């Protein structure tokens, strides 16, 4: 029963969303947060999504050729360790640049007991969380509610927060009106057809699903219109976790089963009954997972953009899904164009949709719903969810109750919180400054494309056309999605219930989505809230987006030297632009359409260059765990391209490259709990922080000149082994 979680959690999703949405969110520069109970969820659609874009940028400045700037002064030869002895303190720049620039920071950090990692991204997110939390508290106070209009941002924030804090009502009401009624329908279903009807209607009303999800999203084949998508069933955890031989992932599976067992106990089963039920359900989930795509395949549009008619999509389930159900509930037409992200997984589910499996299917559906709503219903389920999070992630302490509520408010009312956040904290001057840096990097990129030796002229022209068409969004949306919804939540004094308020939020989103399904794609929409500390490229809209939340130190500081901001936010910008030309983004054209604009010769050459990136990263390891170059290839290409661009700008402007690379190395400082590191190494498309620094700089020729790196140094790689694409 999946809907949506934060964009950061998308990375570990157990089921895919549309190819466009998946690609947009894996293009985010920040790796995902600890997995939510039951795996993770695709990003929330609260009247916004990856189909949205808005042209807010000004036209790039002159596209005149950028020549090499003044030569950077050569540094003195850096000191090296002697005789192979272990050197106390930071490593030498030439041996381990990441440690050299982050040693003191990492030693001074302690991972908070309730978190899985610590990084500058984490610290910035915590800072933004605290700011928004203060605004939530103020809105919820007796003084703060004065003058709040029904349905306003502050009004709905207050209502959701206060009902979330009302433990007594949460425990009494359980799954509330909407979800509670659905559970009764599941229990009373006398056939698979009746069960499917209940599930499909619930999905239409709330967006939550387990067996199958039907929804409208921007069409990868024609980015101007929306198309019907069919999502595969919920497998609970990714196939990489279910079938992993890694001890940490195996522990996650066992903790997941314990968590689901507790949920069933909370819902009336004895420990023995709950254990048997969960065993049956998780066997089904694992079997479903066996037919899903590998994580690296999920982000390949060639594998996920499978076009058929709605009737043909329904037939993936043999005769178990009468098309009349789809028509009566969703208004879907039999000949309607439909995209099936993972047809094999849907066929696998079809093998379960038999009358003899009805009891199992009911258990499966209820299990998925229990998990999806565990953080938002009774406090016993919340405790179970938190125990799972802590055990699976190696976390020492559960978050306090008030924080769990505040985080849910900030997620479910993300743009409502975002508007209040921007009105209070965002510096508009930063928006213009960052836009200027973006224009500089686009200019450099255009010059590089113009002189790319391995590209033929026709491909080069298409690439430059796509670059110039990139839409730039900085700060916050021009149009706020909540203004399109008629959302009025109820506070406790009005009889409001937390879970019912959340269902109302989901319903408002669904109603809007179906109301506008035949309307053109709204390119003003955002896929991240403004307070998010992250950034992304969306290939379906050919846009780069930098929320207000990331425009803070060490990524961006208006008081810092330009070279520091170039190494920080500049690298992030270059990273996101490069996603337009990575192994996934390069399959989309300047309009965001899935179209092959490459000559056969250039495509083959690009694949060879990408394979060199894969091979290069396959030689890396972190704490004895090998980096998966195939899994992380898109992000690694983006990292390499971003640093290459900022290096060229720094040289043109005469900046000290040592300062540039120092600023770049700093932003990736990260400490991980062992369990979490092991998990992301196999489930995250982003490389760990140390790899994002050392591997990238070891592949950057100018780094060798700046720091005097030579053969025998830890950072040294032979010139022929250094991957270069953009």
Distant-in-sequence, close-in-space partners of 681: CB < 8 Å, separation ≥ 6: 622, 625, 626, 627, 628, 688
Contact predicate 546/572, CB 8 Å: yes
Whether the per-residue pLDDT at 384 is higher than 80: the answer is: yes
Question: pLDDT digit string (tens) for 327-375?
Answer: 999 999 999 999 999 999 999 999 999 999 999 999 999 999 999 999 9
Question: pLDDT digit string (tens) for 401-428?
Answer: 999 999 999 999 999 999 999 999 998 9
pLDDT of residue 591: 95
Instruction: List the Cα angle 624/627/628 in 5-degree steps.
Output: 140
Instruction: List the Cα angle 593/597/603 in 5-degree steps.
Output: 125
Question: pLDDT digit string (tens) for 24-68?
Answer: 444 455 544 333 443 333 222 222 223 232 222 222 222 222 222
SS3 150: coil
Question: pLDDT digit string (tens) for 569-623?
Answer: 999 999 999 999 999 999 999 999 999 999 999 999 999 999 999 999 999 999 9
Question: pLDDT digit string (tens) for 618-646?
Answer: 999 999 999 999 999 999 999 999 999 99
Q: What is the 3-state secondary structure (H, E, C) of 430-472?
A: HHHHHHHHHHHHHHHHHHHHHCCCCCCHHHHHHHHHHHHHCEE
Residue carrying the six token digits 């506070």:
491
pLDDT of residue 157: 98
pLDDT of residue 47: 26
Question: pLDDT digit string (tens) for 211-270?
Answer: 999 999 999 999 999 999 999 999 999 999 999 998 889 999 999 999 999 999 999 999
Contact predicate 22/299, CB 8 Å: yes
pLDDT of residue 303: 92
pLDDT of residue 43: 26
pLDDT of residue 21: 52
Q: Residue range 146-162: average pLDDT?
A: 95
Element housing 129 (H / E): helix 120-140
Backbone angles phi, psi at 686, to 5 degrees: -95, 140
Contact predicate 79/87, CB 8 Å: no
Whether the per-residue pLDDT at 19 is higher than 90: the answer is: no
Give first-to-last CA distance, the chain, whole Å. 41
Whether the per-residue pLDDT at 490 is higher than 60: the answer is: yes
| Cα 422 to Cα 406: distance, rounded to the nearest angstrom | 18
pLDDT of residue 172: 97
Q: What is the mean pLDDT of the chain?
A: 88
Question: pLDDT digit string (tens) for 287-341?
Answer: 999 999 998 899 888 899 999 999 999 999 988 999 999 999 999 999 999 999 9
Whether the per-residue pLDDT at 681 is higher than 70: the answer is: yes
| Cα 724 to Cα 38: distance, rounded to the nearest angstrom | 39
């Amino acid at each position: 029963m999946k809907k949506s979680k934060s964009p950061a959690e998308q990375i570990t999703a157990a089921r895919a969303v549309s190819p466009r949405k998946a690609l947009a969110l894996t293009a985010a520069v920040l790796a995902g947060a600890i997995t939510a109970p039951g795996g993770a969820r695709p990003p929330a659609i609260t009247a916004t999504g990856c189909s949205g874009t808005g042209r807010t940028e000004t036209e790039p400045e002159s596209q005149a050729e950028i020549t090499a700037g003044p030569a950077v002064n050569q540094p003195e030869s850096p000191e090296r360790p002697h005789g192979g002895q272990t050197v106390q303190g930071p490593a030498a720049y030439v041996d381990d640049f990441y440690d050299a620039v982050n040693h003191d920071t990492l030693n001074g950090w302690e991972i908070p007991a309730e978190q899985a990692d610590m990084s500058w991204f984490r610290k910035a997110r915590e800072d933004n969380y605290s700011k928004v939390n203060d605004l939530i508290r103020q809105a919820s106070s007796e003084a703060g509610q004065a003058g709040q209009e029904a349905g306003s941002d502050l009004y709905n924030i207050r209502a959701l927060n206060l009902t979330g804090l009302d433990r007594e009502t949460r425990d009494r009401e359980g799954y509330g009106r909407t979800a509670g009624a659905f559970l009764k329908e599941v229990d009373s279903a006398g056939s698979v057809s009746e069960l499917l009807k209940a599930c499909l209607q619930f999905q239409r009303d709330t967006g939550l699903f387990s067996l199958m999800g039907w929804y409208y999203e921007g069409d990868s084949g024609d980015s101007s219109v929306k198309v019907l998508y069919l999502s595969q069933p919920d497998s609970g955890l990714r196939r990489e976790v279910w079938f992993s031989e890694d001890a940490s992932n195996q522990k996650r599976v066992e903790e997941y089963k314990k968590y689901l067992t507790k949920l069933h106990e909370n819902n009336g089963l004895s420990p023995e009954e709950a254990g048997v039920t969960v065993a049956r359900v998780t066997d089904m989930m694992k079997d479903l997972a066996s037919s899903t795509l590998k994580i690296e395949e999920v982000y390949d549009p060639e594998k996920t953009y499978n076009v058929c008619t709605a009737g043909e999509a329904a037939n993936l389930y043999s005769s178990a899904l009468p098309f009349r159900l789809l028509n009566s509930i969703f208004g879907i037409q039999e000949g309607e164009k439909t995209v099936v992200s993972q047809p094999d997984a849907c066929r696998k589910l079809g093998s379960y949709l038999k009358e003899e499996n009805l009891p199992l299917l009911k258990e499966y559906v209820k299990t998925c719903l229990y998990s999806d709503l565990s953080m938002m219903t009774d406090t016993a389920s919340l405790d179970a969810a938190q125990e799972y999070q802590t055990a699976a992630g190696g976390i020492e302490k559960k978050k306090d109750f008030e924080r769990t509520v505040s985080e849910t408010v900030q997620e479910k009312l993300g743009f409502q919180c975002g508007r209040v956040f921007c009105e209070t904290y965002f510096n508009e001057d930063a928006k213009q400054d960052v836009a200027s840096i973006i224009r500089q990097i686009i200019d450099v990129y255009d010059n590089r494309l113009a002189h790319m030796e391995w590209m033929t002229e026709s491909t080069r022209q298409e690439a430059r056309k796509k670059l110039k068409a990139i839409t730039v969004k900085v700060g916050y949306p021009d149009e706020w999605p909540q203004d399109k919804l008629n959302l009025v939540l109820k506070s406790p004094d009005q009889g409001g219930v937390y879970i019912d308020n959340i269902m109302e939020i989901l319903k408002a989103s669904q109603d809007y989505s179906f109301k506008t399904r035949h309307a053109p794609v709204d390119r003003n929409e955002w896929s991240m809230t403004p307070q998010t500390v992250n950034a992304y490229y969306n290939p379906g809209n050919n846009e780069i987006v930098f929320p207000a939340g990331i425009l803070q130190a060490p990524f961006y500081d208006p008081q810092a030297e330009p070279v520091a901001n170039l190494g920080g936010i500049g690298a992030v910008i270059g990273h996101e632009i490069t996603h337009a030309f990575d192994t996934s983004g390069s399959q989309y054209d300047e309009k965001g359409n899935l179209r092959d604009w490459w000559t056969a010769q250039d495509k083959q050459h690009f694949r060879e260059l990408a394979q060199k990136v894969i091979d290069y990263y396959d030689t890396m390891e972190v704490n004895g765990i090998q980096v998966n170059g195939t899994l992380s290839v898109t992000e690694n290409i983006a990292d390499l391209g971003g640093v290459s661009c900022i290096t060229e700008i720094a040289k043109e402007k005469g900046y000290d490259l040592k300062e540039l690379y120092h600023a770049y190395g700093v932003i990736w400082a990260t400490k991980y709990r062992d369990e979490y590191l092991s998990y992301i190494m196999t489930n995250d498309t982003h490389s760990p922080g140390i790899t994002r620094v050392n591997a990238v700089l070891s592949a950057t020729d100018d780094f060798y000149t700046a720091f005097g790196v030579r053969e025998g140094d830890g950072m040294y790689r032979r010139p022929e082994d250094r991957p270069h694409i953009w």
